[in-house]
Amino acid sequence: MKKIILLFVATTLCLVTVSAQDVLSTEEMNSVFKKEKHHNKTTQDYAPLRQADVMWSRKIWREIDLRQKINHPFYYPENDGTGHTIDDRRSLIDVIYSAIQEGTITAYGNAVRDDEFRDPMSAEDIKKIGGAKEEKVEVVDWDAIAEGADPEDAKIIKLSKIPFNRNTIKKWRLKEEWFFDKQRSVMDVRILGLAPLQEDRDEVNGQLKGTFSPLFWVYFPEARDVLINAEAYNLVKNDAERRTYDDIFWKRMFSSTITKESTVMDRKVNEFMVGLDALLESERIREEIFNMEHDLWEY
C-alpha cells in the first residue's frame, strides 16, 4: 500500500513539474536564454563627499538632442501614448513617465522657471503632462436613433481621452554639478535633475515654433532606482550586452550641448549668444572645466 501511495505522489510531482515547464513567459519565448542580468540590479553608490573635500564646483545645464544617432537609445522605441510595440526595452520618457504615474518618482512642476525641485506636481497635474487631457463631451447615440429615439433625447455624455504622446519629446535637459574632490584627487560630476523637452506649438494654428520647453523635472538620484533596471538598446548591435539607462548616464555615453552655467546673471547661453557663437560658447565652457582639472594637476 505504501509503495502505491509513493508511486502516486511521485507521478503527481512529475506531472506538476512538466506543466510548470510548459508555461513560459513572453520574455522567455522571445529569447534563446533566460535574461536575468538587469532584473534585480541595484545602483552603485556615489563616493562619500564632504564639503571640506570640495575645493571647486560649478553647476552646468546641458541638453541631449535625441535626433543625434548616439542618443537614439533614449528615444526609441516610439510610443504615442497608447502602447509600445517592443517589450524588452522602452524609451527614456516612457520609463520616467510610467514611474511618475505609479508614484515611484516625484515630478516637479513649473519647470520653465524652477529647476530646484520646489513644486511637486499633483495627481491632476500629472494627468495633463504633455497636452494629455480628459474631458466630457456630448455625442449622439446613433444606435438609439436607429431604434427610433428622438435626436435630442439620444445625446449622451462620453469621456474623451487624449493621451500624452511620448514621441514629441525630442530633447532632454540635464542639471549637473562638476566638482574637484581633493580627498580622491579627481574631477567628478553628478547629475542632479532630468527634464524632458517638448517642442512648442503655436496656440492659434498649432504650427511648431522650433523652440523647446521642459514639461517637468525629476530628481536624478531618486530616479536611479528605476533607471537601473530599464534596458536601453546597444548601438554596437549586441543584444546580449545591453546597458541600463543608469549605466549610460554613469558612463556618460551620450552627446550633449552645454546651454547654461552658473553665473552672476544666471543667463542661458542663447540669451547673449546666437547660432555658431552659442555653440562656440558652449565649447568654451567645456574647455574651461577641462583646463581647470588640468591646471590643478599641473601646478
Q: Distance between CA atoms of 173 and 256, rounded to whole angstroms?
A: 9
Rg of the chain in Å (alpha carbons): 26
Q: Which domain holds residue 177?
A: 37-129+164-298
Compute, in degrees rounded to 10, the torsion defined by CA atoms 235, 210, 216, 246.
10
Please return the burial class of 62, using the count of CB atoms within 10 Å of its CB with bins 0-12, 13-18 and 19+: buried
In a domain, 141, yes or no: no
In a domain, 22, yes or no: no
In a domain, 123, yes or no: yes
Cell numbers standing for residue 174: 540635464
Chain segment 14-72, per-residue pLDDT in tens:
544 434 445 667 767 777 777 776 667 889 899 999 999 999 999 999 999 999 999 99
Q: Distance between CA atoms of 255 and 110, rounded to whole angstroms?
A: 26
pLDDT of residue 16: 45
Q: Distance between CA atoms of 225 and 150, rounded to whole angstroms?
A: 57
pLDDT of residue 246: 95
pTM: 0.83
Chain segment 132-189, per-residue pLDDT in tens:
887 776 677 767 777 777 666 677 777 778 889 999 999 999 999 999 999 998 999 9
- Chain mean position to CA 248: 12
- Chain mean position to CA 264: 31
In a domain, 243, yes or no: yes
Which range among 76-85, 176-185, 236-245 has the greatest average pLDDT? 176-185
Could you give the number of structural domains in the chain? Answer: 1
Q: By the 8 A CB rule, do 83 and 200 touch?
A: no
**HSE, side-chain direction, 13 A CA sphere, residue 260:** 16
In a domain, 95, yes or no: yes
Q: Taking all residues of the chain, what is their mean pLDDT, rounded to a whole number? A: 85
In a domain, 124, yes or no: yes
Cell numbers standing for residue 297: 594637476
At 93, which amino acid appears? I
Q: Give 33's contacts (C-beta < 8 A, 6+ positions apart).
A: none
pLDDT of residue 69: 94
In a domain, 21, yes or no: no
| Longest pairwise C-alpha distance within the chain | 93
pLDDT higher than 80, residue 248: yes
Cell numbers standing for residue 103: 508614484
Going through the chain in order, the beta strands assigned E by DSSP cover 54-65, 107-108, 133-140, 155-162, 169-181, 186-201, 208-214, 217-219, 231-232, 243-244, 257-261
Chain segment 201-213, per-residue pLDDT in tens:
887 787 888 889 9
In a domain, 20, yes or no: no
CB atoms within 10 A of CB 212: 18
pLDDT of residue 40: 76
